[in-house]
Structure 1
């Protein structure tokens, strides 16, 4: 039930030094609370870790952790820990000049294998020295990002990646054998032979590996417009098929049975697709987030906020960014999907194609329900979808308090409000206030009768609605003298009509 919470993605590591990023992460941790955070760029120039210099006529290398320490200190203070990604190649160690992204992460192999191993060993040793072995043992360490793609690894050379992985994994274990190391963080498009070949390599050479990782996205080719794209989407169930792929591909290999982490997932792989900002997106992902824990050990939403610059600096507040939050911490509908999950219990009572029912230690029952989504966009959004449930309550009779929070096309949809405001690229203070208000879920409540230990729910969902229903048994403490009829000084109930208390 908590695989969705294990990790979340973020923009490159140096962005964590920015105020907007830090404020967004603090909000995320207050309302959702992820355990780990993963991002690119640990060894890129912006973090200044690998510092070659000359002295005494020799080339030497200083490993500097000034910015790394600031970032990790801030993370631990907020209750989130690194899911470490080793990459990209420091320019002073790179064998070529191929880069990726606006911020130019170098994606070539190291010019010196021993120096690469020393960089990994020195970085991990520093983390252990500063934060303690018991702490860092809990931080997965992933080697590189999508080496099966030419954009992320020169020529997508699998043999070169194997060499990179072997040097890094052995360097991690040189620090301490109990540290977790894994990979290969494959893209959704990796051919079915990539992972089995990797398994054969690490088994043949007895290379350390503690977990397997890959990514998952469901969007088609980008249809470009200025400052954005549009894309087709495959059915959301395609994400679940991608999540299940590593265990299927590794069956019968030496890596069968290892933990599987989906270290990136979303609908679109583009940081400028407006679908990310919509209510449709939350309803589209709801069945995935509610059910994928049966398939993998974790799946990390990419990303937690729109402080993200792979395609350059965003040109508008809403720009189709990956984030659960925009700049300035406006909550998107998909943020609320995660926030709703964070309020659910840890005991799963029921799961269906449009709902998840849980209970917590206090007996509170929670229901997450979602409207169906036409991923093709060819028909109108489905409104009026009904979910009928009978939920167990910890008392035989009486009433239950039913609280419902919802986001949909009409509620908790700041993107729709932004469009109605004329899509202001740089909203004024008053407009920002309006957008924050529009991002609030619709909330309502009522009392429901409890009969034979159960309360009946009949939920009608609006278009693209995701709703959280919390059901709590009522222990009535209304004083016997209370009479609603006398609220404004009236005569009260007629004799024989019953004593005071709640009116039904």
Structure 2
């Protein structure tokens, strides 16, 4: 079997071999071809040239089904996510106010926090939502707390209330009684006030001050049913924001979490800044952060998946441009409330073949390449991007590797989760990167990563004790091959000796999916097989750590980087 050589050398010295790993196997991908690349791709990292803070915009996650939070696999995954981040992770979940007994289903969850007695008086029950938020807080995580959806007793059209949607069914059928504005705004505002007040009593003022509060989800899409959706959402936001601030004046409130950055979002920003407040009659509404969603658009072309990163970037830029438009919003925190390759986490590849990217390394390389460019897209518009929510978690009671957009399957990590582990090792300042086969954000926004050339590029950081460089070989087309040799030239290392480690996500490393397929894709893996899959899914290090002299502050790392693979090289001192 071919071997991929990971080697390091001084800038003018002979290479020192460090580690080896198996080459990508053509059988591991639905579309694989041999690579003809032989000339090394050169990447440069200047650790002395800062590009701004390494803001952990990736440390934000979300999902539709809040009751997965307290399931065993949900708790396990949340613990892993919390552990790998250097800062508290923010979590956004739908259905935190939805009526029900806490049972979960695809795109469904509930907390039953509100009902009314026979006389129409409110009855509050925080049991389930407390269990969800307890799970976050116990792990040092924080809610991006969504005020939604509408409790049955407050719905304008309560029946039918719970939907029965499943993959393959038209998406619009999901919108049942939970998707209306309140029939009584005063009762709805009082519910929100009581919820925030209870949260302060349970978790403490300082803790809740560190959360973010927002209203609803994608009111410009299918999620809000009303004759005048825009007017009703603005009214809902005003009443909710007033209630949150009455309960905790220092709470952070924002929105609108629109599906796109179009007229609806623009009109909302105008209303929040200059419009008449429906709840107070004053001018404007509290707006402590701005949030919108941006998605890509994969398709099946010539029998294989082709990702739509260019469309994803266009939508990100449209949102950043709207924030840039308003001088009053200069410096305001911006959160991309959902930032993903496409729009339906619960639509598996069986019903949506374009989603077949999710189990393997294409999702991993897409995630690395897209998150790295979000820094550049935000900087170009001068906006303060603090978070980009990855809308993927885990799905209970589903087949192994069923093609949902998730981070783990049945408690076993998927390759994409290891990209977040890599990002968690990157601290301090982002530093300058250059390359001779690198796309920039503008080029991807204009046309994606198509044609003969792949995107071989890097994101690099430096803190007081380390330099970290994440390198990827990405292409929109779902093809895996042996890739290209890469030379990583690092300068500005503030030490005379470093310890080098090399981590890898590819077909044979940090990849439980290929391990599962090699087992014969068992529908019910044995305990021994599950243990093997858990081991295969962990972040893999190529070889042993190596010690390297860097008297001139320079080093060269050489590697063979397969297509759709991601490497992290760390130099510690």
Report the TM-score, using the length of structure 2 for normalisation.
0.73
C-alpha displacement of 1:340: 0.7
User: 1:408 aligns to what?
Assistant: 506
Gap change, CA 1:247 and 1:358, over 3 Å in 2: closer
Give the whole-Å Cα distance in 1 for the aligned partners of 2:432 and 2:559.
16
Structure-2 change in CA distance of 1:417 and 1:92 (3 Å): same
Counterpart position of 1:297: 386
Q: Which residue of 1 aligns with 2:10?
A: none
Contact conserved, 1:89 with 1:107, CA < 8 A, in 2? yes
User: What are the residue-to-residue correspondences of 1:221-370 with 2, within 5 Å?
Assistant: 232-235=306-309, 237-253=310-326, 256-257=329-330, 258-271=332-345, 272=348, 273-294=355-376, 295=378, 296-303=385-392, 305-307=393-395, 314=398, 316-328=399-411, 330-352=412-434, 353=438, 354-362=457-465, 364-370=466-472
User: What is the Cα-based RMSD across aligned positions, in Å?
Assistant: 2.6
| Residues 366 and 250 of structure 1: CA distance in aligned 2, closer, same or farther (over 3 Å) | closer
Cα shift at 1:335: 0.8
Please state whether the residue corresponding to 2:373 is helix, strand or coil. helix
> Aligned partners of 2:557 and 2:415: how far apart in 1?
23
Can you list the C-alpha shifts for 1:291-316, whole angstroms capped at 9, x where unaligned?
3235122101112x3136xxxx53x1
Output the CA distance in 2 between the equivalents of 1:351 and 1:151: 41
Question: For residues 183 and 393 of structure 1, what CA distance do their matches in structure 2 show?
Answer: 42
Residue of structure 2 equivalent to 1:138: 210
The answer to whether the 8 Å contact 1:88/1:105 transfers is no
Deviation larger for 161-170 or 439-448:
439-448
Q: 1:168: Cα distance to partner?
A: 0.9
Paired residues in the alignment total 450
Q: What corresponds to 2:116 in structure 1?
A: 52
Distance 1:390 1:15 in 2: 43
Aligned equivalents of 1:234, 1:51: Cα separation in 2: 43
Q: Conserved in 1, the CA contact under 8 Å of 2:489 and 2:554? A: no
d(CA) in 1 for partners of 2:420 and 2:313? 18
Q: Distance in 2 between matches of 1:402 and 1:26?
A: 27
Match of 2:233 in 1: 161
Aligned residue number for residue 280 of structure 2 = none
SS of the residue corresponding to residue 151 of structure 2 reads coil
Native 8 Å contact 1:412 1:439 kept in 2: yes
Write the distance in 2 (CA, Å) between the matches of 1:39 and 1:156. 26
What does the per-residue CA deviation read over 1:28-80, in whole Å, with 9 as the maximum and x for residues that have no partner?
212336421110011112311002112xxx21111111122222222111110
| 8 Å contact from structure 1 (residues 357, 367) kept in 2 | yes
1:486 maps to what in 2? none
Deviation, 1:385, is 4.4
Q: Where does the alignment leave 5 or more consecutive residues of structure 1 unmatched?
A: 224-229, 474-504
Per-residue Cα deviation, 1:215-253 (whole angstroms, up to 9, x for no partner): 121125799xxxxxx965213x44333223223124443
Q: Which is further off, 178-187 or 97-106?
A: 97-106
Deviations 1:59-118 (A, max 9, x none): 111111112222222211111011100111111110114666569771111111111111
| 1:91 paired to 2:152 | yes
Deviates more, 1:272-281 or 1:149-158: 149-158
Structure whose alpha-carbon radius of gyration is higher: 1
Q: TM-score, normalised by structure 1?
A: 0.83
Q: Deviations over 1:173-210 (max 9, x none)?
A: 2213221111111113x5x2111111222221122221
